[in-house]
Structure 1
Amino acid sequence: MKANAQPLQEILYSNAQFLIPFFQRSYSWERDNWERLGNDIQALLSEDQEKKHFLGPLVCALVSAAPGKTPQYQLIDGQQRLTTLSLLLTALRDEARRAGEEEFAAEIEEQYLVNRFKKGLERYKLVPRTGDRELFSALIDLKKVEDQDAKLIVAHDFFRKFIRTHAHQDSSYLRRLFDTVVGRLYLVAITLDEEDPYEIFESLNSTGLPLQESDLIRNFLFMQIPLADQEDFQQESWAPFEDEFEPSAGEVAIAPTAFYRDFLMRRGQYSKARETFSDFKKYFEKTKSSPAESVAELHRFVEFAKNIANHGKGLPAKVAAVLRQFAWMEANTANPVMLNLLDQRTSGSISDEDFIGCVSDLNSFILRRSICGESTRAYGKWFCELAGELTGNVREKLQGYLLHRGWPDDETFERSLASFPIYRREFKKCRIVLEALERADGHKELVDLSDGIQIEHVMPQKLPGGAAGKSWKEMLGDRYKKVHERWLHTIGNLTLTGYNQTLSNRAFDEKKKELCESRLTLNKIFGQTDKWDEQRITQRAAALCPQVSKLWPRPSSDIEYTPPTKKTDGTNMVRERRKQYWAALTEMLANSAVNLRPVRKSEVRTCEFFLPMADVSLAARLDPNKKQLVLQLRFSRSRGREMFAGLNADRDAIDEQFTTQPIWEPSSKPTITWVLNGFAIRDRYDWLEHHSWLTKTLTEFEHGLLGRLRSLHEAVKDKSATKQAMLEYWIGFHTRMFERGCELLATTPLPQQWNNLAIGKSGVWTYAHIKPPESQVSAWLIMSTAISPVFFPQLEANKGQIESEFGHQLEWQKDGLKQWRIGITRSGVSFEDREQWPAQHDWIIDQLTNFDRVFRDRVQMFEKAEPVDSAE
């Protein structure tokens, strides 16, 4: 065996050919692998040119080296690396061709991708296994590929976008990238002599499939054991533990990787699914346990996991009952909490009563939020965080945390449950609710799933034909279709019965007879009514919903709770990505011939472009649900509608100016829209394509539409000269804000004496005000009627500090006003003298900027509170 570290150019530049044998798996690298390689290359490009980067081994066996023939090597290990590098070089060749650098493209192809003077398969430097081979050769030969979702094709597309993104403003990038890839990326080439390639491959990767996180954990633990002791470790520790994952008859199997992740998070340390092995290694090293001690701990917790999955089998009846309810809540993300509680119960830290109370609270939280339509997206991190809180008074801590996260109260829950289609949306929860209602008031013999009891729709799921259907329609009334659709799957129309198949779609009179013969308490009500219509369904729901609230209660909101302190940089990744997206657009526009610019670098889905006009706005908008990037010109009020009508009259001529066909939508608020489909912001290597489309469309907008729009705007005047002047005043104010790069968010200019601005808090805003008769301009912070009595005194209590930060004495006005306000006024100005307007605008902008600086953080800290009694 020979081993030698070689740069990629020495491996591929030769006339050798590398064959991937059939027993290798297909190409399987994912985006994470491609991005890591791309990041490593970018790091090399920015560092010392002598630095090398080792990618790992390339194990190959010589197959043929006959004179006059291409030397052939079988790739035993490293095929994913070499295939990826070949795809990167193919993408680089294609981008060089796109840039018009044909000689450079030919250099890449003829030296690193093909053997120029060979034919057939001998032509290719790398020959993947069958299945990948056809796709790979099509990429090399620039042929059309039908399967655009194949891994090889997706990888090639990724690298093209990666290269294009970094090269669009750097003419030397393609060559520098090429030199770095072939000259500074190294592989340890290991050439085998006599060994059997298949046996070697088996020893390197016995399955031919990516190892699971649980496999890596097992291998890691065995690596900590001396070879002579591994058999004893296997028999005494590992095998009994691993057997727990093989379910007995009638039991639910435990997924090993999911179990390890839940185990790691039981103390509040979040672990990403793909980092379970990495986090386990850290945990093992931190605890300083031996492999046998670690497995003993794992064995103890896997028993708890089996308790959860198998409804508390073998545990006391009341403990098993709440575990069964938990299983039917379908909230596996709460398993770390359950492992923690079961561990504390077993150790005696909490009693069975406390355990039952905690799990009941958890079930109530999950059930109530589900019925109220609350999001579950954050549950993974919430429940992990909760698991780390369970010390001291465990139940009080648990209740406090759940209340903090939004545990719906009785009124909200009951109102939602009455109309919630629980059977269709949450079947398992529906079953457990009906069973619990029956257990609470029913026959001594408890209902159980194994009893053959089923859920029955009293008003049938499908209204039958014939006499039975006629009977139902008459009973439900003229609105029978709407009544059936709205109330069919709700709690008021559902019960339990053993006669489901026979009852089915019968008329109510027949159903009633058999339901009344049932021993279930839930069905007693049917003996007290002669009809079943919307009124009876809602009346029954009104009776049942409070009972469900009592079965899954919520504690009062006065439990004291201090949220855990989070170590975070405060970054919201989605908002940060949007901000970077719009910043990249702004940079591209700055380097283009387009004059239009974003009003500000926003972190929301919309980016508005500055137009010095009223009643018309231009904005780009991200619509991830429809996978669209939208540029839209929106018109408002009568002035805007007149402008739209003027443009629409010249529609055919305008349409010819655009590559992307505009969509014209006349309405009370008409729009003209341009759409790029197949859009996704998540992949930053798609941004260049998006921004190029936007830049091109904005260029066409400036050339083909903006001039017409300006002319129409100037032609449409307000009937009142004063109002027209006010409108022009605020348009000038917006223009000045834009010129100064001010990022304050102001509302659209209107012909009135004020212009509002947002400060990031509902019910609080700033505004600028002109008073021509009094020769005054002013700037204000204003609070709505509902919150003024609460928040104004909080600010006024710090009046001295606030005015010191502001740099000027302020006016604090509340007497006789519904909306209390804090402001500053400048007198002796002239509204009629337009030459004064720029100075007035600058003064207003300075004051509003001060208001934003001094008050923004303060108003964000306002909490919801009841108004203070004025008598106090």
Structure 2
Amino acid sequence: MRAQEITFLKLVQGDKQFQVPLYQRTYSWGREQLQRLWEDVGELVEQHLAGEAAAPHFLGSVVLAPGQIQAGGVQRWLVVDGQQRLTTLMLAFTALRDHLKETGDARGVDRVHRQILVNEFHEGADHYRLLPTQADREAYTACVQSRAEAGGSDNIGAAYRFFRGALAEGHEAGDERWTATVETVLKDLLSIVEITAESGDNVYRIFESINNTGVGLSQSDLLRNYVFMLLPKRGERIYQELWLPMQQSLGPKNLELLVWLDLVVRGHYKTKQSEIYREQQKRLQPLAGDEDALQHEIEQLAERAGRFLRIVEPAREPSPALRAVLERLASWGGQTHYPLALHLLDLLAAGRTTPDDAAQALGYVESYLVRRLICQTPTTGLNRIFMEAPKELETDRPAAEAVRRFLSGRRRRWPGDEELREAIRTKPFYWSGRPPQRSYILRRLEESYRPSEPVDFAKASLSVEHVLPQRPAPAWFDLLSEETEPSQTPQELHDLLVHTLGNLTLTGDNGKLSNHPFERKQQILDSSALRMNLEIASAQRWGKAEILARADRLSERAVELWPGPIGGVKPTGEESPGWAELRAALVAMPSGTWTTYGDVAELIGSHPVAVGAYLGGNSTVIGAYRVLTSEGKISPSFRWAEGDDRQPPQELLTSEGVRFDTWGRAHRSQRLTAAELATLLGKDVAQPAAHDPLPEGEDAAAAERFRTQLQEHWPDAHPGVMGVLDFWRRQGGYVNYGRHEETSCFPMLDAGTIRSPHLLWPVAIYPVSGTVEVVFQHLKSRTPFDDTEQRRELLNRLNKIDGIDLPEAKLELRPSFPVTVLAEHGDEICEVLDWFVGVAALDLARRD
């Protein structure tokens, strides 16, 4: 084997083809890996544009083995290892080519297509520089050929859509050189080690040896080994007195985090955690031979470890004020604030600030994070802001003032009071951040009432409750119909209000409250120990006016709890974050789907009319033609930009796979709701408790509630559903139930071992609403259904049954079909479930 470091352009140029062997799994990179790569690309682009010397970014290795060479054909290479990054970069270039087409750069389109994507003078399979494994081939070639179905629901399509969106947003924010610089970075500044096997080498053995290695040394392990190699005389004593106690108190993960933070607070804020050892080695190398200096460095690190422990375990902090805010930030979760918090504790240790000043500074950090979450400000660049802070803070003023001034910088997006008030009224707070963060904000708002007998939140088992229910009974819609605007339905008004902060509270009686009328909820809330619930219970009714009035009251509390930036006025002409989120949502839509103006408005906290006006004035927005009226029709006001020669919107949607009836209405099953759009954006869309099975096995009381509800609401379906569940038990599964008022049912399968639990369930059955959800969103994260082909096979088998019509574009979501299908086609459903159990059993045997 031979190895050489090479740029991506040099790797792929020439008449060659990279073939992914069938024994490799399908393309599997998700949003997290794509985002990490794009952040690295973004840093190189910024450095290049600033005229800085940008060192190539090392992506990893690609192991290739020579394939067959035919006379006059292309040189074929088998991709033994590295297919994920190779495929990802090819998809980035397909997106770049299509982005250049959107911007009118015909020469750029031609250049990227010929240089990177295809072997220009070859046809058929030889035409493509990359030929993925067969399961991915159709989706990949659709992107390369710019076919209508490009950007489907599988991982290939999702990666293509990710890069289309990233390029569109970057182009919007950058100058005229930005796109060209991205092309330069992708071609020439991403470094790959090309490892080439010789003819006759056993490529299967190479693949196994690469992918079956033991646990490697961590970055902190490497640093420890290097440091103590430089301490031949004092090493044993320093290890026992300093390093070992630090290692034992922190644990491996936190020690590695500390070694990285040590670099960040020293000003090396661009250092990635994968580069800790290299950067620390570079810093310490000049001290080789000076054991006094090296001992001093380890002493400093050990002292910093003690301060870091107060951040991760706030109970260790002696100052009450500082301890309180550190506890709040620990409750908030995440590590974003660590660099700045550690820097402030360093200043405190050096006598350059006071505990109260440091506490106030961290209070501004809390406010910054909370306000951004409520206003749904994109988190892009958030980690970098806090990594830059230790180096950028002004040193000639108190720490709290310096932190507030730093976070108030225009590009750091700290929402002011008016933006906060508007977001509380309109944004779907229930989809903001993570569930613990939403609960934290509601808890802090409750504490602001300063009750004489405060609730012990550590012991209370509280969850977020929608006062206006997510699935309201008809009486609720009768109430909302009194407050609808012209041409607005009660359902549309419900969707705009239901997830806003004004409609949410905390309760331990979520299951009891359910979707009962407000009068019944009043009785339950009136006995609550929470002041905010007593306030809700005192209302005479609960509709739009009451929800908005409560939102305004909560806004005043939020403004007082979480102070805003200096100035606090949104700069004139600055775009609302909602429009960026709208563009991201439309890019995230798989081909073959559509949505409505109301769904987009619900997602971003706007109004359908405003969404229509924005898209009407920006018809070049990617995917704008996929936004239809509530009936599923093309809006009469939709127009392509002048000079755009694309097909009429309905024809284009039809070519992508959207079905229309004779009245020009798109098929409802292919519509993406606001919740589904939020899921595609990676938001933590909390499902009602009914969507989660109870942790125990079969529960007799819950089973009886499920049977009773099914018999009451769908009596004709009852025998068929019970028959399907009995079949499932005979196949080795069991049945679990939800904890909500509508007692949902889950056919569960334990496809794991004692050491490695692995629960699967193919569907969720709802006995009141009469729907059966196919839980692709759940299966996507569990083997073997993390493979798109397995989920697609499940979808295809179900779709052969009359009454089931699941769109392929929802392979990452939770599409549904009527519960009556289980009664009318029970035998066919059982055949699908039998196949499901068999696939899971094969996977378990493979893992064993």
Q: TM-score, normalised by structure 1?
A: 0.42
Mark the structure with the bigger radius of gyration: 1
Which structure carries more relative contact order (alpha carbon 8 Å, separation 6+)?
Answer: 2
